[in-house]
Chains A and B, each alone.
Chain A
Amino acid sequence: MSGDLEEKFMRRIERGEKIESTDWMPEEYRKLLLKQIHMHGISEVMGAYPEKEWVPKAPNLRRKLALIAKVQDEIGHGQLLLRLAEDLARPLGKRREELITDVFMNRVKFHNVFHMEAPTWADAGIIGFLVDGGAIITQASLLETSYAPYARVLQRICAEESFHMQHGESIVLALAQGTDAQREMLQGAINRWWSAMMFFFGPKAMSGAAQRMMEYRIRSKTNEQLRQKFINRYVPRVWALGMTLPDAKLKQDLETKEWSYTEPDWEWFGNMVRNNCGPKSQERIALRREAHEGQAWVREAMMAVAVTA
């Protein structure tokens, strides 16, 4: 009886056991995981687009090399995560093709930050500093996930992210210690990205799906817990650089240690993510679409060779 299997499964979860791709799992667990990992993987891939805009313009050889390597890692993370999603989706008849086309069919969302503009070199630095910082905090919180393949991939991702952190900070530090024009550029980027980072972690009130994920121990921290951790780490650092944050409410309660902040425009960001209508959403989705559909001929050709070999 499925009910028995579900009970047994929940007891495994409660005992802290880890689930593998070939284990029996409730449909709900599979679907929640798939949605989570698919979105995570696609966010990594789509995250490459704002950053890759700065590769051709990187101002010296070392930065050029580092930025290519960083973007490569992001796509690499996307690959690792999509492979997990593919193994989960196989019984549902979905494979790499469908997981990619879902992006331009509006069937999978990706993080708001990758819908935004990156108009200056300082934005490349801030993406590596704040956006990656937020992503790492989320990833670190998922290391205890009940789904073992996800936990294993997250270990690898976290190891590579440590270079990303250093790279992002290096750019930001160089700008903060630089000319007036560089400091201004940095402040501009911070002003542009801050509220997107407040949205990044999701609303305080978690959705039903998010609650279920906590029960299944797919995730263990609430959105607000993650946002607080982010603010706690990054706000003092930004202030230490002599930069300001575009939020007069930012303050830590000395007793509770909780930070108060201005809520982002949930409506505006939510709409952007649901409908892919951010300033750069369609342009970047078009890039992914061209890479995929526009080059279907390549994949067809490669399969044709394999068959005749």
Chain B
Amino acid sequence: MESANPAPAVTHDAGGAWVNRDSRKRALESLLLQLADDDLVFGHRSSEWLGLAPDLEEDIAFSSISQDEVGHATFYYSLLASLTGTDADMLAFGRDASERLNARLLEQENRDWAYTIARAFVYNAFEQVRLEALLQSSFEPLKQGAEKILREEHYHLVHMQTWFQNLGCSTAEAKRRLTEGLEQVERDWNDMFHLGPWEATLLEEKILPWSATELHRRWRAKVKPVFASVGTPLPEPAMVDEARSGRCGGHTPSLRQLLVTMTEVYRSDTTAQW
């Protein structure tokens, strides 16, 4: 999963130049965009469940989780904005699909509740591991942010794991749906574990202490017992080429559709105050 010659994964955004070509900065920007884009896209998909969850109490709990994710995205966009002299909303709303660095898994449409839980559990466990890595980051603002975000994320993982295990240990229908949901998740999850073309720099600069391989290994250790508890195997991810990696701007039509909706009002006048 390492890359030798990083191809430029991030292009210019309108109105904010990537002035400094220093590779540490480029690596950091790439990582911040991965973190931010992951949480924004995932938070956006999660918020689509408003009013549609299986019961009212869960609707309320789940929408707190989606707020948290969008809130975390806001933190990462704001941090990146302060480094590059641009603004968080422009980063969130002003970039097209080929500039986005989120994992492809997260842009997929919601499907049923079982798929949603399968995806949320898998992603939340990955976030946990990635945030634990950031606790050792040489980039202080990111390290401090990670400490706070990790505390909020704890509830997400507990809640999603509870749902995952409950669905996986109950009726035949729930088990079938969870299995099908997981199969779908597994088809799309491969690039989630990647760190993109700047991985080597991220490690050299100690922005992250662990490689993508190590992140994946730790994530496996975390989810394996949970998968086992519902009697489901945990497959190895497949290799992914850059063209099909969200970390390199390779996305599915689902993201393009998501962005059309998400940026509709924003694009009607990008200079207006809303």
Contacts and interface: CB of A to CB of B under 8 A. Distances in A.
Direct contact of A and B (CB under 8 A): yes
Interface of A: 45, 48-49, 52, 55-65, 68-69, 71-72, 75-76, 78-79, 82, 96, 121, 171, 174-175, 177-179, 181-182, 287-288, 290-291, 295, 297-302, 304-305, 308
Interface of B: 44, 47-48, 50-57, 59-60, 63-64, 66-67, 70-71, 73-74, 77, 88-89, 92-93, 113, 166-167, 169-171, 173-174, 177, 261-262, 264-266, 268-269, 272-274
Contact of B273 (A65, A177, A288, A295): A177
A131 to B, nearest CB: 16
B59 A75 contact: yes
A297 B174 contact: yes
A297 B173 CA distance: 7
Given A55-B48, A72-B59, A308-B169, 12 more contacts: A48-B50, A59-B265, A59-B266, A59-B274, A71-B63, A72-B67, A182-B272, A288-B51, A295-B53, A297-B171, A297-B174, A298-B174
Contacts of B44: 56
Nearest to A124: B265
A60 B93 contact: yes
Nearest to B117: A298
Centre residue among A69, A72, A121, A301 by max chain B CB count within 10 A: A301
B51 A68 contact: no
B56 A61 contact: no
Nearest to A121: B265
Contact of A45 (B51, B71, B273): B51
A64 B89 CA distance: 11
B166 A291 contact: no
A300 B170 CA distance: 9
B262 A56 contact: yes
B171 A301 contact: yes
B93 A65 contact: no
A304 B170 contact: yes
A7 to B, nearest CB: 39
